[in-house]
Structure 1
Amino acid sequence: MAAEDSACAVAHGAEGSPVETPTLVAVFASPVAEFLLRYGADLGYRTVLYDPDSSRAAPGATAVLPDLDADTDVVVTDHHRPELGAALRDVLARPVRWAGVMGNPRHEGPHVEALRSLGVPEAEIARVHRPIGLDIGSRRPAEIAIATLAGLIADRNGRPGGFFTR
C-alpha cells in the first residue's frame, strides 16, 4: 500500500506541520471584511480590522494601523473610500508580505492615482495586487471572501490557484 501523502493525512485528522501564524488585515469595515476575518480566523490567521474612520468602523476595529510584518497579508475591501490612498500608503510603509485592493479588473484601480498624489514611488505602488482572489465568479460578500482567501493561500504556497488538470 502506498504511503499516504501529508495533505491527505491532514484531511483525515492528522496534525499538519507547524507553521507561523500569519496576520490578515482587512482595511475598511465592509460586508466582505466581515467574512474575510471570520474565515481567515478559521484558516489560522491572526485577524485585524483596520478602519481609520472610527465613525464608520465596526465593533472591534482599530483606527490605528497595528504593527505589520513580512508574514502579513493586507486586503483593502473598499476602493471608494476617501482614505484609500493614505491607508494604503501607510500599509506599504511596512514590510507586509502581500497587499491587494478589491475592485473591477477592467479599470485602473483608484489606488494608483491616490498613491501617486501622495508621492508614493512607482515601485511601491507596483506592490499592490489588483485584481485579487481566484476568478470563481464571486457575487456575494462570502464568495468574494472565499475567492480572496483561496488566492492568498495559493500565493503563500507558491501555486497559481485554480483546478487541477489531468
Structure 2
Amino acid sequence: MTPREQPWVAEPEQTGRILVLSDNPIARAIAVIASAVGRTVLVESADDGGPGLEPQPGDAVVLCDHDAPDAPAVLRAALASEAVYVAMMASRRRAEGLVAELSAEGVDTGTLHVPAGHNLGGKAPGEIALSVVAEIVAESYGRPGGPMRG
C-alpha cells in the first residue's frame, strides 16, 4: 500500500518571533492566530516600546498602535534591525505623516508594510489579525500571498 501524501509538515521551519506593540484587541488576536501557526509572539503592552521590543534576526515587528508615543522610535529601530518584516496598523492617510517624518530623517521605509496585512476586507480585530499573520507567513516563505488556484 502506498503511503498517503500529506499536504503539511509535522514541524514547520524555525522562524523568528513576532513582536507586537501595543496590547489591544488586534494584538491579542495576532498572538492567538500566530501561536496556532507555530510562531512565538511577544506582545509589549507598554506604549513606549517597553524593554522587550528588541528585534533579532528573523523577527517580525508589528506596530498595532500608530499613535503610541514612541511609534517613530520603534519603527526606526525595527527598520534598522535584521527583522524580516516590519509593519504598522494604520490607514495609508494616517501613516503618511509618520512615513514622511522617518524618510526625512533618512530612514529607508521601502520595506515598511503599511497598512499591515493582506487585503482580505475584514474589519474585526480577528479578521485584521488573520490578514497580518497571513502576510507574515507569506513573507517568511518568499511568497506574495493570494489565492492558491491558478
TM-score by length of 1: 0.76
CA separation in 2, counterparts of 1:2 and 1:107? 56
Aligned to 1:115: 102
Cα distance change, pair 112–136 in 1 and its aligned pair in 2 (3 A): same
Q: For residue 135 of structure 1, give the secondary structure of its aligned residue in structure 2.
A: coil
Match of 2:85 in 1: 98
- Cα distance in 1 for partners of 2:107, 2:78 equals 15
CA contact (8 A) 1:84 1:114 kept: no
Correspondence for 1:76: 63
SS in structure 1 at match of 2:119? coil
Determine if contact 1:37/1:47 at 8 Å carries over to the other structure: yes
Asked if residue 164 in structure 1 is aligned to residue 148 in structure 2, the reply is yes
The C-alpha deviation readout for 1:116-148, integer Å capped at 9, x for no partner, is: 56x3x242x223111221111111001000011
- Aligned twin of 1:42: 36
2:10 corresponds to: 15
Other structure's SS at 1:25 match: strand
Tell me the CA shift for residue 64 of structure 1.
Answer: 0.8
> What runs of 5+ residues in structure 2 fail to find an aligned partner?
none
1-structure distance, mates of 2:119, 2:84:
21
- Pick 1 or 2: higher relative contact order, CA cutoff 8 A, min separation 6: 2
Q: Distance between the aligned counterparts of 2:22 and 2:127, measured in 1?
A: 18
Q: What number of residue pairs does the alignment pair up?
A: 150
Tell me the TM-score normalized by structure 2.
0.83
Identity of aligned residues (%): 24
Question: Alignment RMSD, CA only?
Answer: 2.6
